[in-house]
Amino acid sequence: MELDSLQRETRKQAKSVASPSSHRGEGRRASARSAPARARGINRAVEIFQLLHAVRKPISIGEIAKRLKAPRSTIYEIVNLFLAAEILEYAGSGSEVYFGRAVHLYAHDYFATHALPREGLEEVRRLAALTGETCQLCMPIGNKYAVVAMQNSARLFRIGSDIGVLVPIPWTASGRLFVAHMNMEELTAFIPPEDFRTQDGQVIDPEKFLSEAKAALKRGVCIITGLVDDYATCIAAPVVVDPGGKCVACICFIVSSNVGRSRVQELTRLLVESSRKLSRLEEGTVAIGR
C-alpha cells in the first residue's frame, strides 16, 4: 500500500536525522529545508477537509484543486495518501471523493474519550423527550459555532440548524455566550466584520452585542427571538469551565416564537439545571487532565 511506503520512508528519514557525527548536521539542514514544504502540505490537507465538510457531498479531485486554487498534482498526491489510509474514499459517481470509514472511527474515539459531547447528547435526548421541543448541544468551532448534537421536536413544525453547519457567532443566543468572556478588542479581532450582518441584511452592533452577551452569561441563560428566523426563539444555557466564565458549549431549546412566557420560564429552568450538571462534569474532566 502507498501508506506503508510512506511509513517506511518516514522511518528511514527519522533514522537518518538521528544518526551521529556528520549525518546529524546534514539531516538538520535537510529537515530545515523541507519544513516549509511539510507545513504547506499540512495546510492543504486541512483545507481539503474543510472544503469537503463545507460542501457536504463528494466532489472530484479536480474540483477540489479548482476551489482551493491549488496545483492538481499537489491535491492528487495528498488525496491519494488519504485514500490509501481510508481517511477519504471514492464515492458518488466513482470519480469523486469524500470522507472515508477511518474518519468515523476517529470520531468514535473522540466521542468515547470526551465526556462533554457524550453526556451532552444524552441530555439533549432527555430534554427533548421530556418537553417535546427541539433540543441542541452547540460548541464553538474556530470563530464560528456548530450544532454537535440535536433531537428534533416531536411536532410536525420543526425549527433548527443541521448538525455540523458552521454558523456566524453573532447570529444566535449560543454565540453570545461563547464570547461573553472577551473584551471588545478581543471580540472584534476574533469575529469577522461580515459576521455581524445577518442573512436579511440586519447589522448587529458589536458593542451592544458584547454587552448583551455579558449580561446573559451573568444570568446563566440567553434568550433571542427572531434574529435569524422570525418564527424561532432560541433559549441557551452555557457550559462553563473556568472562573473567567469561558463557555465551551451551550445546551439549547429552539421553539416557536409564539410560545408563552410561562413555557419559556419552564424550559429555561430545565436548561439551567442541565447546563450546571454538564459544567460540573466538564470541570471534573479538566481537573483530572491537569
* pLDDT band at residue 187 using 50, 70 and 90 as cut-offs: very high
Q: What was the pLDDT predicted at 246?
A: 87
Mean pLDDT of 192-218: 91
Q: Is the pLDDT of residue 256 over 70?
A: yes
Q: Is the pLDDT of residue 146 over 50?
A: yes
- What are the residue ranges spanned by the domains of the chain? 2-104, 114-289
Asked if 48 contacts 65 with a C-beta cutoff of 8 angstroms, the reply is no
Q: Is the pLDDT of residue 117 over 70?
A: yes
DSSP characters over the chain = -HHHHHHHHHHHHHHHHH--THHHHHHHHHHHHHHHHHHHHHHHHHHHHHHHHHHTS-EEHHHHHHHHT--HHHHHHHHHHHHHTTSEEEETTTTEEEE-HHHHHHHHHHHHH-HHHHHHHHHHHHHHHHH-SEEEEEEEETTEEEEEEEE--SSSS---PPBT--EEGGGSHHHHHHHTTS-HHHHHHHS-GGGGB-TTSPBPPHHHHHHHHHHHHHHT-EEEESSS-TTEEEEEEEEE-STT--EEEEEEEEEETT--HHHHHHHHHHHHHHHHHHHHHHHHHHHHH-
CA angle (255, 56, 201) in 5-degree steps:
55
Q: What is the pLDDT of residues 47-63, one digit of tens each?
A: 999 999 989 899 999 99
As its CATH architecture, domain 2-104 has: Orthogonal Bundle (1.10)
* pLDDT band at residue 13 using 50, 70 and 90 as cut-offs: very low
* pLDDT band at residue 37 using 50, 70 and 90 as cut-offs: low
Q: What is the pLDDT of residues 125-135, one digit of tens each?
A: 999 999 999 99
Q: What was the pLDDT predicted at 20?
A: 41
Give the Cα separation of 61 and 64 in Å (integer): 5
Q: Would you identify the CATH topology of the domain 114-289?
A: Beta-Lactamase (3.30.450)
Q: Is the pLDDT of residue 14 over 50?
A: no
Q: Is the pLDDT of residue 204 over 70?
A: yes
Mean pLDDT of 76-104: 91
Q: What is the pLDDT of residues 259-283, one digit of tens each?
A: 888 999 999 999 999 999 998 876 6
* pLDDT band at residue 185 using 50, 70 and 90 as cut-offs: very high
